Amino acid sequence: MGNLAKKITMVFGAGCLGGLANSLAVWIFGVYGITSAFGVKIAPQLSAPWLYPRVVWGGIWGLLFLLPLMQKSFLLRGLIFSLGPTLVQLFIVFPMKANKGLMGLDLGSLTPLAVIVFNAIWGLTAAIWLRWTNNHS
C-alpha cells in the first residue's frame, strides 16, 4: 500500500474510533442522566441507525489529521480539529437539519458546551490512537 493510502486509512480509522468514543460518551451521559442534570435534552438510544453515521462521519472528519499542523502537539491538534465537527453541529446540523435552534439551544442552554466536550472526546481519541499506532507500527 502506498504511503498516502496508508495515511488516509489510518486517519479515517482513527476518526471512526473517535466517532465511536464520542457516541458512547453521548449515550452514557444520556443513560446516567448527566446531560439532563445540566438541562441538556440529549439522551439517544444506542442503536445501529444512530451509531453508524456517527462513526462514519467521525472517520470523514478524521481526514483533518492529514493536515500538517502542530504535529508535535498531538493532543492540542486533536482538540483544534474537534472544532470542525463542533461548528458544523452547532451551526448547520442543529438549526438546519434537526430544527433544534441555533447551536441546539432548543435542547438546553448548555448544549453548545456539551457538543464541545463530546467532540473533544472525538478529537482526543483520534489523536491518541494515531500517536499510539505511529509509535507501534
Q: What is the pLDDT of residue 1?
A: 64
Query: Are 69 and 77 a contacting pair, CB within 8 Å?
Result: yes
Q: What is the pLDDT of residue 134?
A: 84
Specify the number of domains making up the chain: 1
Q: What is the pLDDT of residue 72?
A: 83
Q: What is the pLDDT of residue 82?
A: 98
Full-model pTM: 0.94
Range of the domain at 109: 3-135
**CA 51/CA 69 separation, integer angstroms:** 29
Q: What is the pLDDT of residue 56?
A: 98
Query: Are 18 and 123 a contacting pair, CB within 8 Å?
Result: yes
Q: What is the pLDDT of residue 2?
A: 82
**CA 127/CA 132 separation, integer angstroms:** 9
pLDDT means per 10 residues, the chain with 137 residues, are 90 98 98 98 97 98 93 92 98 98 98 98 97 76
